[in-house]
Amino acid sequence: MPQLIDVSYLPLLAVLIPAVASGLVALVSFYSERWRNFVATLATAAALCVVALMYPEVVTKGQVITFELFKIVSPINLTFRVDGFSLIVALISCFVWLAATIFALSYMTHEENRGRFYSLLLLTMSGTVGVPLAGDFLSLLLFFEIMSLASYALVVHTQMEEAYSAGELYLYLGVAGGMSILTGLALLFYRNGTLDILPGTVILKGMDSIIPLAAILMIIGFGIKAGMAPLHIWLPRAHPVAPAPASALLSGIMIKTGAYGIIRVTNVLLVPTIDPTVAKLLPQYFEDFWAVVSTMGHVIIWIGICTMFLGVVLALIQENIKKMLACSSISQMGFILVGVGVAGYLKYDGAMGMAGASYHIVNHALFKSALFLVAGVIAYKLDDLNMYNLGGLWRKLPFTTVVVFIAAMGIAGVPLFNGYVSKVLLHHAIVEAYEHYGVAALLEAERIFMITAAGTVLYYLKFIYLTFLREPPPESKEKIEKLKPESLAMKIGMAMLAATIVFIGINPGFMLESLIVPTLHYFIFDPHFIEDHIVGINFFAAYDLIPQFIVIGLGSLAFFIGLKTGLFRADVPYWLGQEFMASKVGRAVVAFWNGLGFVVLGIVRFFGNIFSGIFTFGFRLLQGLDYRPGESRVLRFVNLMNIDFDVLLIMSMLGIALVFLFYLQFGIIGVGVW
């Protein structure tokens, strides 16, 4: 296991820099817009540098950085713990945040309340970076809630009715997720006495129901933020209404904190405290435990499969670019959940699933953020995000066209682009899960996986063709002809992401060897499996390339069929939509709660009246017994040295309590001597 560094202020600095800069930006905004932009960009870059400074210790030397602040999150201290996986999520978060902030320097010029936007953007960054750097689940929840509450203001930034409606849903579900996580933490602390984010901290005392219940509650809470079906309903509404830089971060980064939380829960709560090699020698103690872990992993696989497929279907029927990208994020989170599920399902041999999930977290952050920035350029230039109203943008926005092509090829899994690499790992993982146990359902899951990948190709071909390649419709042609090129800040922000997508796609082994593989050693996986099956993997072997080309071919064929038949514009009945189902469920819950509240209130009032009468009677009786010179005839019976009845009663109770405590401390003999 990696050695610990007792004290390092770098994790604290990574969180404090954007938090402090948030207040500074709010102040500077009143005096100078240029200085406000400078402070916001500098703070974001500084946070990235601080996180990057942890790389040599964590990855190169294989150590774990820790830091602790006392009495901040009572009764547990605010702790930081940075291992390889923490560093990956924090590093990609800061990098994408810097690209989005640079892009925002131009984009936000047409928005109001820019000072408030940059201030809350930095505060959101502080919470987002704090999530992967947290050393215990309570500290993680603190940063998670800071991120959720601050990002709510980004969702409703435009202060339009649609934004407020989406923001309310985002906030309500965020609070519900936080309460679910908190309940799980209470169960975990009751059962195990610790909330540390360390594999093997759950003490195996026989597989009771508390740990699985805590895991389910926490996975639900994190799953809301991750956009996991059926908890995804906030995502297609919140992302489109936020400004483009905020949408890029909501979809590219913040939903990854949900995936991060799920990975930590499965790795911490569903791993025994004894080393797995020892566990194999004690099957009678671990059989039930591993059965539950494997079952939960199987369930997560299918949640991921349903999430990815549902996201594809929703993306295909969207006309608004941002809504399409938001639904696409739901689908891509499904890919990540499949990897997490396989890691739990295969247990000690699940490193391939975790490698694919970790790699896809990085890749999705890059290409989805780039695509939302592209949508921001279109919204900024044309104030229209309906794909059917656009066309021919490649002539007027060639740089944006190149970026959207690179990002779309990445998310579609085309070889030589980054998404291909992580999808190969995830496909290997689900095939291994099927071959390991021979469960027929997993073979069907693998087929749905491939169909979903083809669907991703389909809707991005639709997006690129309708928006950039075809001739624009007559009503939009004049407006498109007047377009001017993108600003320098927009180009820099998009170029940072696009260049990284291409670099990873061309050099898949670099990312794997420098970040992903070192991360796997922080989990409890078979090191021999990692060395034999993951290190040095050839991503461009024929058995990986051929299925991917088949997927691309199927997606392209479906695109041409849909284009010719007009299926892309088919309307889905409202009663089949997610909002209809959610509203019905919500109304049923409210009705049940109101009825339950009416019954409970009646019971409370009934007993309240009884207890109120008893209290009034007792109070009047005590008043009559109190020492009042010349008034009470029972004075000489209850009064001792001018101590009235109330005080005498209190002293008697204290005396009894002291005798009881003395008995607990010294036992019967001590009481007898006393």
SS3 of 80-96: the string is EEECHHHHHHHHHHHHH
pLDDT at site 6: 54
Give 198 or 98, the one with higher predicted confidence.
98
pLDDT tens-place string over residues 337-347: 898 888 878 87
Angle at 130 between CA 341 and CA 329, to 5 degrees: 45
pLDDT at site 575: 46
Over residues 235-240, mean pLDDT? 70
Over residues 155-170, mean pLDDT? 78
- Rounded distance, CA 270 to CA 293, Å? 6
17-21, 126-130, 558-562: lowest mean pLDDT where? 558-562
- Rounded distance, CA 90 to CA 497, Å? 16
Over residues 654-674, mean pLDDT? 61
How would you classify the pairing of strands 76-82 and 4-5?
unpaired
**Would the pLDDT of 652 be above 80?**
no
Structure tokens at 412: 């579609």
Same domain, 510 and 603: no
Share of the chain above pLDDT 70, in %: 80
**Would the pLDDT of 588 be above 80?**
no
Are the beta carbons of 533 and 352 closer than 8 angstroms? yes
pLDDT band at residue 4, thresholds of 50, 70 and 90? low
Q: How far apart are the first and last CA of the chain?
A: 55
- Rounded distance, CA 641 to CA 647, Å? 12
Same domain, 532 and 611: no
Same domain, 557 and 586: no
**Would the pLDDT of 95 be above 90?**
yes
- Rounded distance, CA 236 to CA 577, Å? 12
pTM of the model: 0.79
Average pLDDT score, the chain: 79
234-248, 352-366, 384-398, 483-497: lowest mean pLDDT where? 234-248
pLDDT band at residue 61, thresholds of 50, 70 and 90? confident
**Would the pLDDT of 395 be above 80?**
yes
**Would the pLDDT of 273 be above 50?**
no
Give 149 or 75, the one with higher predicted confidence.
149
Instruction: Choose the most confident range, by mean pLDDT, from 173-177, 572-576, 643-647.
Output: 173-177
Same domain, 667 and 547: no
Token match 């399902």: residue? 345
pLDDT at site 102: 92
pLDDT at site 669: 42
pLDDT at site 386: 86
Residues 6+ apart with CB under 8 A from 88: 132, 358, 361, 362, 515, 516, 519
pLDDT band at residue 433, thresholds of 50, 70 and 90? confident
pLDDT band at residue 98, thresholds of 50, 70 and 90? very high
CA dist 190 → 194, 211, 666 (Å): 8, 10, 29
Instruction: Choose the most confident range, by mean pLDDT, from 173-187, 276-290, 556-570.
Output: 173-187
Angle at 268 between CA 262 and CA 272, to 5 degrees: 140
Over residues 50-63, mean pLDDT? 84
**Would the pLDDT of 257 be above 90?**
no
Give 205 or 416, the one with higher predicted confidence.
416
Are the beta carbons of 412 and 501 closer than 8 angstroms? no
Burial of residue 507 (CB within 10 Å: 0-12, 13-18, 19+) is middle
Over residues 561-569, mean pLDDT? 72
- Rounded distance, CA 454 to CA 556, Å? 8
Same domain, 653 and 530: no
Same domain, 650 and 598: no
Instruction: Choose the most confident range, by mean pLDDT, from 174-178, 353-357, 661-665.
Output: 353-357
Are the beta carbons of 243 and 117 closer than 8 angstroms? yes
Which domain-ending residue is among 529, 554, 572? 572
Residue from 549, 248, 264 nearest 376 by CA: 248
62-76, 103-117, 437-451, 499-513: lowest mean pLDDT where? 62-76
pLDDT at site 641: 46
Q: In residues, how long is the chain?
A: 674
Residue from 569, 568, 384, 397 nearest 476 by CA: 384
Instruction: Domain count for the chain, please give it.
Output: 3
pLDDT at site 149: 85
**Could you tell me which residues are beta bridge partners of residue 272?**
202
Over residues 20-49, mean pLDDT? 88
Token match 């009572």: residue? 74
Same domain, 366 and 503: yes
Angle at which helices 210-226 and 321-346 pack, to 10 degrees?
160
Give 70 or 73, the one with higher predicted confidence.
70
**Would the pLDDT of 189 be above 90?**
no
**Would the pLDDT of 578 be above 60?**
no
Give 250 or 23, the one with higher predicted confidence.
23
Over residues 471-497, mean pLDDT? 85
57-61, 292-296, 299-303, 349-353: lowest mean pLDDT where? 292-296
Range of the domain at 638: 628-674
The b-or-e profile of 401-412 (16+ CB within 10 A means b, else e) is bebbbbbbbbbb
Residues 6+ apart with CB under 8 A from 115: 25, 26, 28, 29, 30, 36
Are the beta carbons of 646 and 623 closer than 8 angstroms? no
Q: Report DSSP state, residue 568.
A: G
Are the beta carbons of 270 and 361 closer than 8 angstroms? no
Same domain, 140 and 93: yes
How would you classify the pairing of strands 64-73 and 4-5?
parallel
Same domain, 567 and 666: no
Same domain, 523 and 634: no
pLDDT at site 632: 52
**Would the pLDDT of 574 be above 80?**
no
Phi, psi of 255 (to 5 degrees): -70, -20
Phi, psi of 66 (to 5 degrees): -130, 155
Residue from 157, 184, 177 nearest 247 by CA: 157
Token match 């989005």: residue? 100
Structure tokens at 480: 């498109």
Same domain, 143 and 288: yes
**Would the pLDDT of 227 be above 80?**
no
- Rounded distance, CA 224 to CA 212, Å? 18
Same domain, 535 and 652: no
Token match 């073979």: residue? 443
Over residues 506-519, mean pLDDT? 85
Angle at 549 between CA 548 and CA 550, to 5 degrees: 90
Over residues 527-553, mean pLDDT? 86
Residues 6+ apart with CB under 8 A from 416: 502, 505, 506
**Would the pLDDT of 165 be above 90?**
no
Share of the chain above pLDDT 90, in %: 12
Q: In this structure, how many other beta carbons lie within 10 angstroms of the beta carbon of residue 283? A: 9
Q: In this structure, how many other beta carbons lie within 10 angstroms of the beta carbon of residue 30? A: 8
Secondary element (H or E) of residue 110:
none
Over residues 340-363, mean pLDDT? 85
pLDDT at site 673: 38
pLDDT band at residue 206, thresholds of 50, 70 and 90? very low
Identify residue 118 by its one-letter amino acid code.
Y
pLDDT tens-place string over residues 104-154: 888 888 777 788 888 888 999 999 999 999 888 888 888 988 888 888 888
pLDDT band at residue 582, thresholds of 50, 70 and 90? low
Angle at which helices 10-28 and 33-53 pack, to 10 degrees?
180
CA dist 240 → 128, 307, 512 (Å): 20, 20, 33
Q: In this structure, how many other beta carbons lie within 10 angstroms of the beta carbon of residue 99? A: 27
pLDDT band at residue 667, thresholds of 50, 70 and 90? low
pLDDT at site 568: 63
pLDDT band at residue 1, thresholds of 50, 70 and 90? very low
Residue from 175, 362, 174 nearest 260 by CA: 362
Give 494 or 71, the one with higher predicted confidence.
494
pLDDT band at residue 72, thresholds of 50, 70 and 90? low
Structure tokens at 554: 């199927």
3-class SS letters over 342-397: HHHHHHHHCHHHHHHHHHHHHHHHHHHHHHHHHHHHHHHHHCCCEHHHCCCHHHHC
